[in-house]
Amino acid sequence: MVYLMIGAISKARMPGRFVTNVYSSGIATLTVGSLLRGIFDIAGTSSPYQPVFVVAGVLMVLVGAVCYVAAQFKRL
């Protein structure tokens, strides 16, 4: 969806492989973390490792976004 928006609304080039990999990995990590949180909520328990998914996911999404923006500025 993000890539479609980029192509539709701007003249920016599509992200490279590295940005795609990192960004997608971040989204996957956040998704799995949310699923686990749901499982733990239903079971009535928790895990000390839950924040790892959030931190890692957010970091990778941010790295992907920053690298993409930096590449666009470099091209300019």
Partner 1 sequence: MKRFFKSSWWAIMYTVLLTGFTAFVLLDTFVIPKAIQSVSTVDYTQNSNATGTTDSGIYTANSYEDENISITITTERVDDTQVYIADIQLQSIDYLKTAFAQNIFGRNIKQTTSAMAEAHGAIFAINGDYYGFQDYGFVIRNGILYRSKARSGNDDEALVIYEDGSFEVVSENAVSADALLEQGAVQVFSFGPSLLCNGEINVNENSEVAKAMTSNPRTAIGIISPLHYIVIVSDGRTNVSAGLTLYQLAAIFKEQGCETAYNFDGGGSSTMWFNGEIVNVPTDGSKLGERKVSDIVYVGY
Which of 3, 40, 59, 66 touches partner 1 by CB under 8 A? 40
The Cα 58–Cα 52 span in angstroms is 10
Q: By CB under 8 A, what part of segment 1-20 binds partner 1?
A: 17
Nearer to partner 1, 9 or 48 (CB): 48
Of the listed pieces 6-14, 45-53, 65-73, which binds partner 1 according to CB under 8 A? 45-53
Nearer to partner 1, 11 or 17 (CB): 17
The Cα 75–Cα 68 span in angstroms is 11
One-letter amino acid at 53 equals F
Residues 6+ apart with CB under 8 A from 16: 71
